[in-house]
A and B are shown apart, each in its own frame.
Chain A
Amino acid sequence: MCDSSKRLVAWMDRELPDNEAADVERHVRDCSECRGRVDAYEQVSRAFVACCAAATEEKTRRRLQRWVPLLSSAAAVAAVLLLVFQSTTVKPIPVRPRVADAAPAVVLETAPRPVKKVHRRHGIAPMKTPNANWASFEPPVQIAIPVEAMFPPGAVPEGITFIADLSMAADESVQGLRLQ
């Protein structure tokens, strides 16, 4: 075996100093045995890289395959739940008998925080009466007014919340006010 064979891989990898690289290059040009070795080393190097790439792709593919059935199942369950939910939860809200006329109600809430309690003079009407008077089924309007805006500071103890039920007629005139 040639002495140069010890430096062939380093020469292929361009890791030799210039003067040594030139020597090896000259030698390889003249020595068929070393040329064959260089071919073999290059081939095995390429195959090693291909092997690494194939292993990475295979493992990544397996990883994706592991998730596909899980995600498909989750999507199927979600679709079934959506169907069940839609067919069972859309129920008409019962309409409270109305004492006053068909005017829409307005609820004034004096609490500083978002509305917690919903008062409806009129419930939301079921959709089964297309010819009904839409004005009479108009949902109540809720307006939240901070307590500080209605009472002087300190007038209302902390934690106390006022809810005002304000009934309005169709012409927007106030028909009644009830504080809770």
Chain B
Amino acid sequence: MSGDSLPLPLPLSGFATDSCEATTLYRELRKPLLRYLIGLGLSADEAQDMVQDAFLSLHRHLASGGSQENIRSWLFRVAHNGARNRQQSYDRRFGKPLDPDIESIADKATPEQVVLEKEKLRRLGKAILLLTESERECLLLRAGGLRYREIGEVLGIPTSTVGDTVDRAIKKLAEKFNV
């Protein structure tokens, strides 16, 4: 099922702002948001719900005259907070990034998805498990196309801290990945 072909959720159709812009935003950010939430450990259903909630919140935010600046980081922040609230509410285990059976994912990944050797991908999966929560979050947001400033806004940390964290995380992964 291609997410891009899905019709817009109802809330977006009533945007007071330019609907083309809203459509573009949804198409652009839906998948990165899903990947981020699944990377945090949510199930596909939970992530899907959370993305819908985030866009519903965006609609309310804009309808009530909220700022239209930094919408990307705004959406990620709402999704991030939603995921963390769910963690607290349901006492979920968020300690396992991506998936506990990341190795099986590496096995099933198609050549189109991964142009690298699967052995390297397996090593990467194990290395991701060794990152700190903050490092994982920074890398996941970076993979979603966010700038350091935006990552800082999502996580509530200074931009310089984001730079240091991303640098540290990439170097850790590279050490394991390129042996």
Contact = CB atoms under 8 A, between A and B. Distances in A.
Interface size class of A (residues with CB under 8 A): 20 to 34
Contacts of B116: 43, 46-47, 50
Interface in B73-103: 98-99, 102
B60 interface: no
Query: Interface SS of chain B: helix, strand, loop or mixed?
Result: helix
B99 A50 contact: no
A62 B44 contact: yes
Contacts of A134: none
B2 to A, nearest CB: 11
Interface stretch (A52-60, A69-77, A89-97, A157-165): A52-60
Given A44-B177, A50-B114, A53-B113, A13 B142 contact: yes
Interface residues of B, number: 42
Nearest to B173: A44
B59 interface: no
A59 to B, nearest CB: 4
A47 B121 contact: yes
Interface in B1-49: 1, 31, 34-35, 38-39, 43-45, 47
A64 interface: yes
Given A44-B173, A48-B128, A48-B143, A53 B35 contact: yes
Contacts of A43: 116, 174, 177-178
A33 interface: no
Contacts of A57: 113
A9 B98 contact: no
Contact of A56 (B35, B108, B148, B177): B35
Contacts of B142: 13, 45
A31 B98 CA distance: 35
A49 interface: yes
Given A9-B167, A51-B121, A54-B109, A59 B43 contact: yes
Pairs of residues from A and B, 10 with the lowest C-beta to C-beta distance, nearest first? A59-B44, A63-B44, A54-B109, A9-B167, A55-B98, A52-B35, A44-B174, A50-B114, A49-B143, A40-B174
Given A43-B177, A60-B1, 7 more contacts: A43-B178, A44-B173, A46-B116, A47-B120, A52-B98, A52-B143, A60-B44
Interface of A: 6, 8-10, 13, 15, 37, 40-41, 43-60, 62-64
